[in-house]
Structure 1
Amino acid sequence: MDLRRLRLLFELSRLGSMRAVAETHGLTTSTVSQQVAALAREVGAPLVEPDGRRVRLTPAGLRLADHAVTILAAVDTARADLDPEAEPSGTLRVGGFATAVRSRLLPVMAELEASHPQVRVLVREHEPLEALGLLAEDDLDLALTYDYNLAPAPLPSTMRAVPLWTTAWGLAVPADASGADPDSPVRDLRRWSGHDWIVNSRNTADERAVGTLGALAGFTPRITHRIDSLDLVEDLIVAGRGIGLLPSGRPSAPGTRLLALDDPPVTMTAYAVTRLGREQWAPLRLLLDRLAVSAAR
């Protein structure tokens, strides 16, 4: 089996079109098509089929592309062992929540652009449940996700998660609310039981964390607003429309107070999640190592 053809199939499974693969590798679309057809003859099975004006992988093509990740990773590892100067190359598809993309991934992408120009990173903004679903379908190579200590997220046995960083979260309330003392941790959450609560609209983690906090304090939080943007959460709090959890490292907007929670504390942990066995693919390994260094800073 020709590894060059296998790599083109691998890229086709990620980029979705012959044209995109051709542009990435400096080839013509016709050349890519011919190479994929030659690979199909080698393995004795059709690998692509028409899909309107484009093509898509057949079930056999999808299975071979899945094997290609492991095969190419092993080859890259062997080459690196024999030639430490060999440069990683390939296209990485990364999906993650906005904070991780903005604060961690973008700086690493800038570093890679300078140090490893043959590694290309494609970014999609997704909340954890969305990103893990895409990872399971092999529509992503890396998912940047999070969960809370009060709402740990189960991970399929086919995936591997590496913790990147942990952040304490507090209870954000209107600045003029009674008991809104930022210097005193919340000792009795029931004080806030009569308020409306705001949770994430695209992920269930903070709703579960809020529910656990309320249950431990003896009440059921009244969820009224579901918001994705942290800025919009703050706007609703300032307007007196509710209260919610926000990260402690984030400057509070005028009109809000962030109260510490320590009984129990609420912490969010961010993860780099890959499909099991994929993390040794050279471009992905490079990105994971850079993210780990960035998190350590």
Structure 2
Amino acid sequence: MDTRRLQFLLELSRHGSMRAVADVLGTTTSTVSQQIAVLAKETGAPLLEPDGRRVRLTPAGRRLAEHAVTILAAVEAARADLDPHAEPVGTVRVAGFATAVRRSVLPAADVLAERHPRVELRISEYEPYEAFAALLADDIDLALTYDFDLAPAGVDPMITASPLWTARWSLAVPAAEAADHGNTVQVFEAFRDHGWIVNSRNSADEDVIRRLASTARFAPRVTHRADSLELVEDLIATGPAPHVGLLPANRPTKPGVVLLPLAGPEVRLRAFACTRRGREVWPPLALVLRLLVH
């Protein structure tokens, strides 16, 4: 089985049209069609089926495309092993939450541009559940995700997660009500009658809030859901009723909002770099992972 033909099939699974594959690989649509037809004969299974005026991968074609990622990554890794001075080449598709993109990916992109210009990053902003789904669907190569240490997220066995960094979070409260309330449970107890703000696109912080509130023997009254940290601050500082919510401990806040430290226990966000198991040996992806985890 010619690995070049596997590359045609893989690109078709990613881009969805013969024309797009031809543009990516610098060839013609007829060549793409012919190579995939030969591959179908080699495997003895239909790989494409009509989809209106276009074609799509059959179930067998999708399975082979999944294998193609691992096979092509192994081939590239073997070439790099035989020639350790070979320059990595390829496009790495990254999806992750905004803080990780700013903190980890953008510095890595600067290094790549300077030292490894033939490795390109394509970046999308996704919440963890979106990034995991895209990773398992092979729509991306690298997912940057997070959870909180008090509410660890489960990881699919097909995924390898590498720790990146951690960050302490605090409870953001109206400035007029800021005071030393003691440990984390006592801080939560002090604001049990307030409205609580949680993330609108992810349940990680809500899981932490509900767990700590349960320890303080109350059920939090979730009144607002917001993805933007700036909006969380606005709701706390100017909302029509008193509200509180979790924010990063090192975040400069606007007037009217104070961050109360949480200790005993601390609340820590944990960031991870996630790949499909076995794909991390692909040289461009391996290079990006080294830059992120370093």
Q: TM-score, normalised by structure 2?
A: 0.92
- The aligned residue for residue 282 of structure 1 is 283
Separation in 2 of the partners of 1:73 and 1:161?
18
> What residue is the counterpart of 2:147 in the other structure?
147
Q: Deviations over 1:229-279 (max 9, x none)?
A: 111111111113521001112211222111100021100000011111111
Structure 2 unaligned segments of length 5 or more: list them. Answer: none
Deviation at 1:291, TM superposition (A): 0.9
Displacement of 1:49: 2.5
**Structure-2 separation of matches of 1:68 and 1:32:** 16
- What's the offset of the Cα at 1:181? 3.9
Are residues 1:200 and 2:199 paired? yes
Give the superposition deviation at 1:218.
1.5
C-alpha RMSD of the superposition:
2.0
Amino acid of the structure 2 residue aligned with 1:230: L
Q: Which residue of 1 aligns with 2:103?
A: 103
Whether the 8 Å contact between 1:185 and 1:259 is mirrored in structure 2 is no
Q: Which residue of 1 aligns with 2:162?
A: 162
Query: Tell me, what secondary structure is at the counterpart of 1:218?
Result: coil
Structure 1: 4+ residue segments shifted above 6 A: 182-185
Shift of 1:37: 2.3
Q: Secondary structure in 2 aligned to 1:267?
A: strand
Q: Distance in 2 between matches of 1:86 and 1:277?
A: 21
- The answer for unaligned runs of 5 or more in structure 1 is none
Distance 1:268 1:117, change over 3 A: same
In the aligned structure 2, how far is the partner of 1:55 from the partner of 1:112?
36
User: Bigger CA drift: 88-97 or 217-226?
Assistant: 88-97
The CA distance in 1 between the partners of 2:7 and 2:268, in whole Å, is 41
Provide the identity percentage: 59
Cα deviation for residue 183 of structure 1 reads 11
Task: Please give the secondary structure, in 2, of the residue aligned with 1:88.
Answer: coil
Q: Give 1:192 shift.
A: 0.5
Q: Measured at CA, do residues 42 and 134 of structure 1 come closer, stay the same or move farther in structure 2, by a change above 3 Å?
A: same
Instruction: Give the Å deviation of 1:68.
Output: 1.1
Q: Give yes or no for contact 1:184–1:259 (8 Å, CA) kept in 2.
A: no
Instruction: Provide the C-alpha distance between the structure 1 equivalents of 2:66 and 2:183, rounded to a whole number of angstroms.
Output: 50
Match of 1:39 in 2: 39
Structure 2 counterpart SS, 1:274: strand
Between the aligned partners of 2:157 and 2:257, the Cα distance in structure 1 is 41
Secondary structure, aligned partner of 1:122: strand
CA deviations on 1:79-109 (whole Å, 9 max, x unpaired) are: 1111112222223222211111222212322
The answer (yes or no) to whether the contact 1:272–1:288 under 8 Å persists in 2 is yes
Offset from partner CA, 1:155-198 (integer Å, 9 cap, x none): 1111111010000000011122x2x1489765442110010000
The equivalent residue for 1:14 is 14
Name whichever of 49-58 and 66-75 sits farther off.
49-58
- Per the alignment, residue 209 of structure 2 pairs with 210
